[in-house]
Amino acid sequence: MKQRNFNIKAPEKRIVPFLIEKIDNLTKPKGSLGRLEEMAVQIGTIQQTLSPSLQNPYHVIFGGDHGITAEGVSYSPAEVTPQMVFNFMEGGAGINFLARQHNIKMKVVDSGINYDFNGLDRLIDMKVRKGTRNYMNEKAITLDEFNLCIERGAQIVKDCHQECCNVISFGEMGIGNTSSSSIWMSLLTGIPLDQCVGAGSGFDSEGVKRKYTILKQAMDNYKGDGSIVDILCHFGGYEMIMAIGGMLQAAELNMVILIDGFIMTNCILAASKLYPEVLKYCIFGHQGDESGHKYVLEYLNAKPLLNFGMRLGEGTGALCAYPLIDSAVRMINEMSTFKHAKVTKYFS
């Protein structure tokens, strides 16, 4: 299958001074709303308007299983992946209550879960294979599978966009995907692997050491060509590659992308290695409690909105941050100007 190309350009900056002028003339001291002002400028620049809006927000969860779990890299058993998918569909997961709270629609996608879902009508079936191969010994994902995942992730976002969605976030479900993310992080940034490996779903310090030893061995066994795509294929997960495709498509469509925790941050890291301008469309929701998340955020020069000690995944940190983005848009649209409110401008 042919590799998909995206047309991603940095948003045109000519509108920026006009956005700043509008914000500076709202009834407040200049800069007094801090990050809300920065986000309003960013969103207005992405949308190329002085009156940005958030329309029909969507959250997409991609699910997939990882062959590396056979090596004992996860505290949770592999059967948790399909079990949690049933929980998502029944509305009982952490991500569900947040989506309901903030009126965000959800799509759940089977990217490559090792389970046959029968009669689960609202689950989107884009299964590539029942779990990736074990990258301790072989490439986890073939090049054709990689290209298929990119295409399918992009299609999901196209579908959301056709429903007038202009702001989107992504989450994941896949036991073992913190391991894949840790290796991606190390190989794509040069950060030592021991700073990239964390507790995942619950390892203690000894468990983290064992996990590191296993992943270090897998990296030592790697005989690929070192290219970005080869690294992503060798150590990736189907749900992670689909998320990359979704992120790239969202940027091409000039959508606002809200980034979640450790795994999704490593997916946008990977996406940025393919198309650097994708980062201009991203707002980073939170810094999670997975130990490597801080370092990859610093590498990306990203400023997360929240730091709540979260490490659930699913996109929960992104959705917790959504109201702040909404506040930024409401600020620029709903606050009065000094002239309109007949308030004396009380700063120089």
User: What are the beta bridge partners of residue 61?
Assistant: 108, 171
How far is the C-alpha of 240 from the C-alpha of 242, rounded, in Å?
5
3-state helix, strand, coil in the chain (%, to 5): 50, 10, 40
Catalytic residue among 71, 172, 290, 314: 314
Beta bridge partners of 106: 59
The two three-digit tokens of residue 284, written as one number = 């980073």
Strand partners, 306: 286
Active site residue 239: no
3-state secondary structure of 260: coil
Q: How far apart are CA 255 and CA 53, in angstroms?
A: 11
Q: With beta carbons less than 8 A apart as the criterion, state whether 110 and 117 touch.
A: yes
For residue 286, the cross-strand partners are 306
Catalytic residues: 314
